[in-house]
């Protein structure tokens, strides 16, 4: 698994688990081919954290895009000279 990028010398994380949770996690770690429970927990939590952050950033970007879009519809800018000329040329061609 992706245990080679783990660096456990920087910080420590302690938690209390029920016996059932620990057994479940240890079983999953073994079945998943992880070296130990710590590697399983760190890799799994890291992946989930990245997923949550990525999803939240997409939502924020989507909200910002929506605000920009609706602002452009609600408060349209006046057409510039090139657009006005193009519209007049179009009208002249098809009228």
> What pLDDT, on a 0 to 100 scale, did the predictor assign at position 40?
96
DSSP for 25-64? HHHHHHHTT-SSHHHHHHHHHHHHHHHHHHHHHHHHHHHH
pTM: 0.59
Residue 93 has pLDDT above 80, yes or no: yes
**For 10-29, what is each residue's pLDDT tens digit?**
788 889 999 999 999 999 99
> What pLDDT, on a 0 to 100 scale, did the predictor assign at position 12?
84
> What pLDDT, on a 0 to 100 scale, did the predictor assign at position 6?
60
**For 25-74, what is each residue's pLDDT tens digit?**
999 999 999 999 999 999 999 999 999 999 999 988 898 888 999 888 99
Cα distances from 53 to residues 3, 11, 40, 57, 90, in angstroms, run 21, 21, 20, 6, 48
> What pLDDT, on a 0 to 100 scale, did the predictor assign at position 86?
95
CB-neighbour burial class of residue 34 (10 A; exposed 0-12, middle 13-18, buried 19+):
buried
Query: For residue 48, what are its two tokens?
Result: 């989930």
């Amino acid at each position: 698994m992706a245990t080679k990028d783990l660096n456990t010398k920087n910080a420590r994380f302690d938690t209390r688990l029920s016996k059932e949770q620990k057994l479940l996690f240890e079983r999953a770690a073994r079945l998943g081919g992880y070296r130990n429970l710590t590697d399983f927990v760190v890799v799994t939590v890291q992946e989930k954290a990245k997923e949550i952050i990525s999803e939240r950033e997409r939502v924020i970007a989507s909200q910002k895009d929506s605000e920009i879009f609706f602002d452009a519809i609600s408060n349209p800018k006046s057409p510039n000279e090139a657009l006005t000329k193009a519209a007049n040329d179009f009208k002249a061609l098809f009228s």
